[in-house]
Amino acid sequence: MNKEQKQNYINEISSQFEKSKAVMVTHYQGLTMPQLDELRSKMREHGIVFKITKNRITKLALEKTKCKDLSSLFTGPTAVAFGEDAIMSARILSKFAKDNENLKLIGGMMDNEILDQAGVLNVANLPTLDEARANIVGILNVAASKLVSILLARSEKMSSLPAENSETQPKE
C-alpha cells in the first residue's frame, strides 16, 4: 500500500467505526474463502459489513474514534463486523463460530460500551427488538383474553341463575 492508499483506508475505517452502533471483533485464522464468503453474505442480509482488517493501520484509525478502547483486540488475523444491530451481529457471529471453530469472537462495542468475549455471547442471547415487541404483545394479548373469559364466565353464571318465580314470593 502506498501512502495515499493507507490514508484512504484509515479514513474509510475511521468513519465505519464512528457511524456503527455495533462493532464486533473476531479472529478468522483457518477459515477458507468460501466460509468467509458465506459469513459475509449472512451478515450482508442484515445490513452488517464484515471486513478483514490490517491491524497496524486499523489501530491508527481507531485513535480518532469512539472505539479507541478496542485497539488491544487487534492482534493476529482480525476481521470486524460493523452494523447497527449489536444483537443480530453477535447472534450471526456466535452461531457461525459454533459451526466453524476457526472463527473466534474476541470482543466488541455496543452503543459505546466495551464487550469482552463473554459480553458478546450474552448479547447474542438477547431477544432482538422485534422479538421483544412480539413477547410484549403476546403477554398483553394473553392478559386481555383472560379478562374477557372471566367476564364471559361471570355473565354466563348470572344468566344461568333460576328466575324468581312469582309463586314463591310472599303475597301481600
More confident residue, 88 or 146: 88
Report CA 133 to chain centroid distance, whole Å: 14
Contacts of 24 (CB under 8 A, 6+ apart): 80, 81, 86, 89, 90, 93, 105, 107, 108, 120
C-beta neighbour count of 75 within 10 angstroms? 11
Looking at the chain, the whole-number percentage of residues with pLDDT higher than 90 is 27
Residue 79 pLDDT: 93
Contacts of 51 (CB under 8 A, 6+ apart): 13, 16, 79, 80, 81, 82
Residue 141 buriedness (CB in 10 A; 0-12 / 13-18 / 19+): exposed
Domain ranges for the chain, please list them: 3-124, 128-159
pLDDT tens for 135-170 read 888 888 777 777 777 777 766 666 665 655 545 555
> What's the angle, vertex CA 130, arms to CA 128 and CA 131, rounded to 5?
65
pLDDT tens for 46-86 read 999 999 988 998 988 888 788 888 888 899 899 999 998 88
Q: Are 94 and 109 in contact (CB under 8 A)?
A: no
Report CA 141 to chain centroid distance, whole Å: 25
Q: Which CATH class is domain 3-124?
A: alpha beta
Residue 47 pLDDT: 92
